[in-house]
Amino acid sequence: MLNFVNLTSQTIDVLSDKGVVSIQPDSRGPVKIITASVEDENHECVINGETYGITLGVQEDVVYIDNLPKPEPNTYYIVPSLVGRVISRILGRDDLVIPATSSGDRPIRAENRRIMAVRKLIWMNPYDDE
């Protein structure tokens, strides 16, 4: 049997064979990627034929990952999508999943288009070279 630990800041509602199940955020708080300082660069850009001054923040390398527990048998950690993609590749962790929120995954939405629940969790395969 698998255990899921929610390391996001929000409750994750997942459709199961018994209806929607809510996975509350873990008491340890959300996992975070801490990066080196961001250097701002100002650039002139043309958007729709007009010139604008746009600031681009140039992010440095990942410094450390905060609040990620050590792997435990039969335990998967639910993390935000971007965090999962980065951590699975950098650390080679094979115990991370993300909520399936893309339109192709057909999440359950309210009338205002807000996601109410996901139909599945997606395993972040650190060994996938795609």
Can you tell me the distance from the alpha carbon of 30 to that of 7, in angstroms, rounded to the nearest whole number? 4
Other Cβ atoms closer than 10 A to 128: 9
What is the structure's pLDDT at 31?
92
Of 99 and 103, more confident: 99
Name the phi and psi angles at 84, rounded to 5: -60, -40
What is the structure's pLDDT at 79?
96
Can you tell me the distance from the alpha carbon of 47 to that of 64, in angstroms, rounded to the nearest whole number? 36
Confidence of residue 96 (pLDDT cuts 50, 70, 90): very high
Name the phi and psi angles at 82, rounded to 5: -60, -45
- CA distances to 38, 44, 63, 113, 122 from 5, rounded to whole Å, are 31, 45, 24, 26, 14
Is pLDDT above 60 for 81? yes
**What count of Cα atoms within 13 Å lies in the side-chain half-sphere of residue 101?**
14
